[in-house]
Amino acid sequence: MAACQPVIKFADVGQRFVGADGKRIDALDGLSFEIGRHEFVAVLGPSGCGKSTLLRLIAGLIRATSGSVEIFGMPVTEPRDEIGIVFQKPTLLPWFNVLGNVTFPMRHKHGYVGDGERERAHKLLELVGLDGSATRRPEELSGGMQQRVAIARALLLDPDILLMDEPFSALDALTRDEMSFELLRIWTERPKTVLFITHSIPEALLLADRVIVMTGRPGRVREVLDVPLARPRSMKTLSEPTFHELANHIRGRLFSRPVAA
Amino acid sequence: MNSPITSAAVSSVAPSPHEAAHPTPPRKQIVKLSVDERLPVLLDRFAPAAAFIVLILVWEGAVRFFAIPSFLLPAPSAIAQAMVSVPLQVWLGHIWATLRVALMGYLLAIAISVPLAVALASSRLLSRTLYPILIVVQSTPIVAIAPIIIVTLGASDLPRVVITFLIAFFPIVVSTVTGLLSTPDELVELSRSLRAGRAREILHVRLPFALPHLFSALKISSTLAVIGAVVAEFVAAERGLGFFIAFSTSFFKIPNAFAGLVVLVAISLVLFRLVGLAQSFLAPWSLPKSGR
């Protein structure tokens, strides 16, 4: 599945913190994997397995204590332009309207917002299904709509890589499923290399080409799993036998004792 | 654990109805309220003013009934009389003197506190070094050192402004630091991931997030600034409301002193309100929804 040159490459990456009590905490240990161009990869694991640390390593927000993280064959030493991030919470700026929030990366990075960006922002709002909401305030929007704005914001500077840190976990179950299909549609229209962090097995299977299953502290790769479900995926995908087999398989990998199917 | 088929997924391109738009608010029904029902509504509206008026009346009545001499406690009517008896020109002179000192000290406090707060919030070393000093300054009774400051800096507006500043600056520093540090981590990470730089991180993200805290402090400090100016005038001044009160008291013109007090309270209230208006004008999003 990976193209000739991987977009993201982890080689034996370890990450250590010194905890508040002075003890060493291993967040990640011996992490190795590659992600190809325009691949959709989900990282699945229990809470506290270092999934978010992994995302922050790629974003260049923190540096690995050992091993190497490379993007397009170059080691990550600082944040780079090729990356857009969507966080768990929408974290919109309450003093800007929707349009202001989407164009914020431009304003923040370069100090101005040109007509070009504003036009791009309007197109992105259309893409995420929010055309006509440009002048609304963030507080008027539902959680799902706010996260749509956050996705549009992450896409403004047209990054090659989209990092998503449990973006739908704060949403209610119905909105969450809806947003998953929305994300697939957006990804089809704007192909990106996506790294999607989640702790939901159905969400990972529904979205991803491959699922990286991680174990708890220290975070290690338990298994990298291909998801051979046909695209475009839909409601029907959820009831395919392969879907259930994969879900059960992952459950088996995550928990040492067997789980009743 | 989730079951493979999570809750029924809704696949639609457009936002689903439950997140689409606000439901149209139900029409307000016009219902005639009976007297029993209207009483609470009326109470809610007029109770504050009524309580104030009752308080004044009780005060007036008590002073008359017990024949309290005006140099002990003047009646509200006596205070009103005193207020009218002082020429407007004189009032304006005193008001202007006090207001000028209060505003200069207040603006100085803002001009120094906000950058100081940014420095404290950005550097652990600075905050560890400077915070103890700030707390020592704050813990020093300014009223006690006001005479020393006047002696040191001479008889001009300068020592009064310094005293006002010393009283007003601390809440602004503390609240702004709290606000700057309350910025969500994700937004700081967003800023870092864009490599926007520290200056833009503070200007575009942290300072706006600190605005609600800053405005709360500005409200408190606006009244503190008036107190600071009055304290300074008590120590040494030849005009200003603090001087007017001290002067009136020393000549047993207690109704005049009370009149000066009323004017001071009015000034504080107006300043407080102005800061509130500035907030709703400059940063309406920072107000709680009910306050807009």
B290 touches chain A (CB under 8 A): no
Query: What are the phi and psi torsion angles at A165 (to 5°)?
Result: -100, 90
Nearest CA in chain A to B199: A108
- Say which of B7, B22, B194 has its CB closest to residue A105: B194
- Say which of A145, A185, A238 has its CB closest to residue B19: A145
- Say which of B11, B13, B195 has its CB closest to residue A235: B11
Tens of pLDDT, residue by residue over B17-74, are: 444 444 444 455 556 666 677 888 888 888 889 999 999 999 999 999 999 998 889 9
Q: Which chain B residues have a beta carbon less than 8 Å from that of A143? A: 19
In the chain, the amino acid numbered B21 is A
Element (H, E) at B46: helix B35-65
How does residue A235 score in pLDDT terms, banded at 50, 70 and 90?
confident
- Say which of A177, A182, A259 has its CB closest to residue B6: A177
Tens of pLDDT, residue by residue over A137-151, are: 999 999 999 999 999
Q: Cβ B9–A129 below 8 Å, yes or no?
A: no
Between positions 16 and 55 of B, the ones with CB within 8 A of A are: 16, 18-19, 22
Average of per-residue pLDDT across B64-92? 93
Q: Cβ B9–A180 below 8 Å, yes or no?
A: yes
Contact A129, A182 (CB under 8 A): yes
pLDDT value of position B31 = 60
Q: How far is A126 from chain B (nearest CA, A)?
A: 10
pLDDT value of position B86 = 93
Largest Cα–Cα separation, chain B = 88
Nearest CA in chain B to A173: B7
Pairwise CA distance, residues A129 & A181, whole Å? 12
Which of A147, A168, A174 should one mutate to test binding to chain B, selecting the residue with the greatest count of B CBs within 10 A? A174
Which of B1, B6, B13, B292 should one mutate to test binding to chain A, selecting the residue with the greatest count of A CBs within 10 A? B6
How does residue A254 score in pLDDT terms, banded at 50, 70 and 90?
confident
Taking CB atoms within 8 Å and a gap of at least 24, the contacts of A245-251 are A246/A205, A247/A201, A247/A202, A247/A205, A247/B4, A248/B4, A249/A225, A250/A44, A250/A201, A250/A204, A250/A205, A250/A211, A250/A213, A250/A225, A251/A201, A251/B1
Q: Cβ B194–A78 below 8 Å, yes or no?
A: no
B157-172: string of b/e by CB count within 10 Å (b at 16+)? Answer: bebbbbbbbbbbbbbb
How does residue B291 score in pLDDT terms, banded at 50, 70 and 90?
low
- Say which of A91, A107, A129 has its CB closest to residue B187: A91
Q: Among A246-260, B40-54, B164-178, B260-274, name the one with the lowest average pLDDT.
A: A246-260
Q: Cβ A144–B1 below 8 Å, yes or no?
A: no
Identify which of B164, B280, B157, B182 has the alpha carbon closest to the alpha carbon of residue B231: B164
Tens of pLDDT, residue by residue over A81-132, are: 889 999 999 999 999 999 999 999 999 999 999 999 999 999 999 999 898 8
> How many CB pairs (< 8 A) connect A and B?
120
B8 touches chain A (CB under 8 A): yes
B148 touches chain A (CB under 8 A): no
- Say which of B1, B18, B204 has its CB closest to residue A108: B204
B189 touches chain A (CB under 8 A): yes
Tens of pLDDT, residue by residue over B225-272, are: 999 999 999 988 889 999 999 999 999 999 999 999 999 999 999 999
Q: Name the CA dihedral angle for B194, B197, B198, B204, rounded to a multiple of 10 degrees.
A: -60
Q: Cβ B15–A185 below 8 Å, yes or no?
A: no
How does residue A261 score in pLDDT terms, banded at 50, 70 and 90?
very low
Work out whether strand A193-198 and strand A220-226 pair parallel, antiparallel, or are unpaired.
Answer: unpaired
Interface predicted TM-score (ipTM): 0.88
Tens of pLDDT, residue by residue over A38-70, are: 999 999 988 877 888 899 999 999 999 999 999
Contact B172, B114 (CB under 8 A): yes
CA dist B153 → A121, B157, B163 (Å): 58, 9, 11
Q: How far is A230 from chain B (nearest CA, A)?
A: 17
Q: Which chain B residues have a beta carbon less than 8 Å from that of A88? A: 186
Pairwise CA distance, residues A37 & A30, whole Å? 23
**Mean pLDDT of all residues belonging to chain A:** 89
At which residue do the structure tokens 């003013």 appear? B49
CA dist B194 → A144, A155, B183 (Å): 24, 13, 17
Query: What are the phi and psi torsion angles at B218 (to 5°)?
Result: -65, -35
- Say which of B15, B19, B285 has its CB closest to residue A94: B285
